[in-house]
């Protein structure tokens, strides 16, 4: 392991003055502007005028978007695609600006540049449904709930259909949904200084935009503003060139990650390179300031670092400790054995890592390599377990909030389960599933760490699995939301119960039943004003959202944009 580089706020504002301004605003036919008694009314008014000008300056005559014909009124016995008389939906709808409890401006205009970009980026048809909803986080002294029932409806109006070739009048925003959440800490304040992480990968994977872990690492190793959170990363790049090491170092350092990049040689097989992470971390000069040395994969993601650090504060770091989790798939335990599966993260106390470092030669011998081969090639996780079990009395401490996620197919059942996982893995596709945890966790910057994957069920049969999806259940929620929906598959051989020991028996998938349709998050943005925009996308031809006869539940693509307003 030659060292290469070391540098080393809805209440409505009912006071007369504000109301007068509101009225003016409404007369300007510009809705969706939020004012607050204690904000500078004039500047808010100027903002209104500015956005009005922007809208008016457009070349084409402005129209109102067509109505998709569903929503606003939910008849649970009908399919999703329910005709609602449009005149009825349109009448009595004055553009009435709504007020958010926060100082933030809510806008419900049709920003065609964004809509066009999304249409291209997400390969939508030129006309698609577009719904925008604000959610006000209400931070309270309450425990985290898996599902929070809201009295409000998700849809306050018929779903609108936009055509990217047209321009539309701005509309007034409905009052935001109020979402009670815990007062959980924000990702930016995590302190990872007790931890040092070791990852072995290739420069190719590091550099390929499809597999590059830079964004994900910046979430759990920095304050997301370019500063390290104290966590140290030791990155080993197999057979990398000096300029590749330099490039990796520069790009990680640029986002604020405290990293050392080393070259490792492919002369040692993968399983051995993995085991070698133990001594490499243990021999690192920063060891003395650390409590936990963590071996993980380049697709291991820690969505709730405060939660993780809190949990580790309960363990005795002065004892030799080997902490991790099994695969959720019982077949993999049968195949490979009962060790910590590395993708979920393997946590070693310093005394544990010392034992591994002292026995490294023995533990990496040809014979030990062979012993780690269960017919699937030598396994680093097995070598590590054997090294520990054969040279100490220490046994694995299971931490089942870590997830290896040996899941194939549609991972929604997991991400819509309402749990708060401490690690995530296998989200880059290949034989496994596809997920975007870096995008999912952005909302934590607005509502706190606990609210990622937290569920909010509205009065009209929608469930927002925050950060992951907005699902609509047109026949109602007549199943147990406390159970995982089995949307995914276990790797062959899938006996149907492979995952039960970890997840509990899973409720049947609602794919192709006509009982569920979902829009899934593909992009999220932390805005300069501290709000977080989430873009949930649905495709008319998504093979999952059909009626039992195979007909699509919705014949249009759609975007649901949710904007989270942080509590004050």
Interface with ligand NAG (CB under 6 A) = 123, 125, 191, 193-194, 230, 539, 541, 543
Q: Which is nearer to ligand NAG, 26 or 522 (CB)?
A: 522
- Residues 513, 79 contacting (CB under 8 angstroms): no
The smaller minimum CB distance to ligand NAG, of residues 379 and 509, is found at 509
Give the shortest CB-125-to-ligand NAG separation in angstroms: 5
Q: What is the largest CA-CA distance in the chain?
A: 84
Q: Of 383, 392, 391, 390, give the one whose Cα is nearest residue 365.
A: 383
Please, which residue, 260 or 542, has the CB nearer to ligand NAG? Answer: 542
- Give the residue with the Cβ less far from ligand NAG, 193 or 215: 193
Q: How far is the CB of 40 from ligand NAG (least distance, A)?
A: 35
Name the residue nearer to ligand NAG (CB basis): 68 or 150.
Answer: 68
If the CB atoms of residues 24 and 541 are measured against ligand NAG, the closer one turns out to be: 541
For residue 142, give the nearest of 461, 468, 447, 414 by alpha carbon: 447
Minimum gap (Å) between residue 487 Cβ and ligand NAG:
16
- Report the SS3 class of residue 24: helix
Cα gap 558→472, rounded to integer Å: 13
Q: What minimum distance in Å lies between the beta carbon of 557 and ligand NAG?
A: 7
C-alpha dihedral sign at 420, 461, 475, 161: negative
Q: Measured between alpha carbons, how far is 39 from 17 in angstroms, rounded to an integer?
A: 13
Beta bridge partners of 471: 463, 518
**In the block, which residue shows the tokens 């026995």?**
359
- Taking the C-alpha atoms of residue 426 and residue 407, their distance in angstroms, rounded to an integer, is 8
Question: Rounded to the nearest whole angstrom, what is the least distance from the CB of residue 457 to ligand NAG in the complex?
Answer: 29
Nearer to ligand NAG, 190 or 248 (CB): 190
Kindly state the smallest distance separating residue 116's Cβ from ligand NAG, in Å: 15
Determine how many CB atoms are found less than 10 A away from the CB of residue 156. 16
CB of 363 to ligand NAG, least distance (A): 30
- Identify the three-state secondary structure at position 532: strand
User: Are the C-beta atoms of 57 and 51 separated by less than 8 Å?
Assistant: no
Of residues 194 and 494, the one with the C-beta less far from ligand NAG: 194
Total residue length of the chain: 568
Nearer to ligand NAG, 273 or 511 (CB): 511
Nearest approach, Cβ of residue 230 and ligand NAG (Å)? 5
Nearest distance from C-beta of residue 282 to ligand NAG, angstroms: 19
493 preceded by a cis bond (ω within 30 of 0)? yes
Q: What are phi and psi of 384, to 5 degrees?
A: -65, -45
Strand partners, 312: none
Strand partners, 107: none
């Amino acid at each position: 392991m030659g060292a290469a580089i070391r540098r080393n706020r809805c209440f409505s504002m009912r006071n007369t003055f504000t109301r007068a301004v509101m009225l003016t605003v409404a007369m300007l036919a510009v809705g969706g502007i939020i004012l607050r008694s204690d904000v500078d009314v004039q500047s808010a008014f100027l903002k209104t005028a500015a956005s009005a000008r922007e809208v008016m300056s457009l070349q084409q005559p402005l129209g109102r978007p067509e109505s998709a014909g569903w929503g606003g009124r939910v008849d649970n016995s009908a399919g999703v695609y329910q005709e609602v008389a449009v005149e009825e939906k349109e009448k009595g709808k004055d553009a009435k600006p709504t007020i958010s409890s926060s100082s933030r401006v809510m806008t419900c205009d049709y920003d065609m540049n964004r809509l066009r970009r999304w249409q291209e980026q997400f390969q939508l048809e030129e006309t698609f449904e577009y719904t925008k909803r604000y959610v006000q986080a209400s931070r309270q002294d309450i425990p985290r709930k898996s599902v929070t029932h809201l009295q409000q409806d998700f849809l306050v109006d018929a779903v609108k259909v936009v055509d990217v070739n047209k321009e539309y009048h701005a509309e007034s925003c409905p009052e935001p949904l109020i979402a009670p959440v815990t007062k959980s800490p924000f990702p930016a304040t995590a302190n990872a200084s007790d931890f040092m992480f070791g990852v072995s990968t290739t420069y190719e994977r590091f550099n390929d935009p499809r597999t590059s872990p830079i964004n994900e690492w910046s979430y759990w190793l920095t304050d997301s503003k370019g500063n390290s959170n104290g966590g140290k990363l030791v990155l080993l790049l197999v057979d990398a060139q000096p300029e590749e090491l330099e490039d990796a170092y520069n790009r990680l350092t640029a986002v604020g990650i405290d990293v050392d990049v080393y070259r490792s040689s492919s002369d040692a097989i993968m399983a051995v390179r993995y085991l070698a992470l133990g001594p490499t971390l243990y021999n690192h000069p920063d060891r003395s300031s650390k409590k936990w040395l963590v071996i993980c994969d380049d697709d291991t993601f820690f969505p709730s670092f405060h939660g993780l650090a809190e949990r580790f504060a309960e363990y005795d770091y002065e004892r030799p400790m080997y902490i991790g989790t099994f695969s959720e798939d019982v077949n993999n335990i049968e195949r490979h054995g009962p060790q910590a599966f590395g993708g979920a993260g393997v946590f070693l106390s310093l005394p544990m890592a010392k034992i591994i470092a002292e026995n490294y030669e023995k533990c990496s011998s040809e014979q030990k390599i062979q012993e780690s081969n269960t017919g699937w090639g030598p396994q680093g996780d097995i070598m590590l377990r054997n090294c520990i079990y054969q040279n100490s009395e220490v046994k694995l401490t299971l931490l089942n909030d870590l997830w290896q996620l040996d899941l194939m197919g549609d991972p929604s059942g997991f991400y819509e389960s309402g749990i708060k996982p401490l690690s995530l893995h296998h989200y880059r596709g290949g034989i496994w599933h596809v997920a975007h945890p870096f995008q999912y966790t952005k909302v934590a910057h607005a509502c706190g760490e606990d609210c990622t994957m937290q569920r909010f069920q509205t009065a009209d049969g929608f469930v927002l699995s925050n950060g992951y999806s907005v699902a609509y259940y047109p026949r109602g929620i007549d199943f147990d939301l406390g159970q995982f929906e089995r949307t995914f598959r276990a790797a062959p051989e899938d006996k149907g119960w492979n995952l039960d020991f970890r997840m509990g028996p899973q409720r049947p998938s609602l794919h192709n039943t006509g009982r569920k349709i979902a829009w899934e998050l593909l992009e999220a943005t932390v805005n300069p004003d501290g709000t977080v925009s989430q873009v949930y996308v649905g495709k008319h031809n998504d093979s999952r959202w059909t009626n039992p006869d195979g007909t699509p539940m919705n014949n249009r693509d759609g975007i649901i944009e949710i904007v989270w307003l942080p509590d004050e």
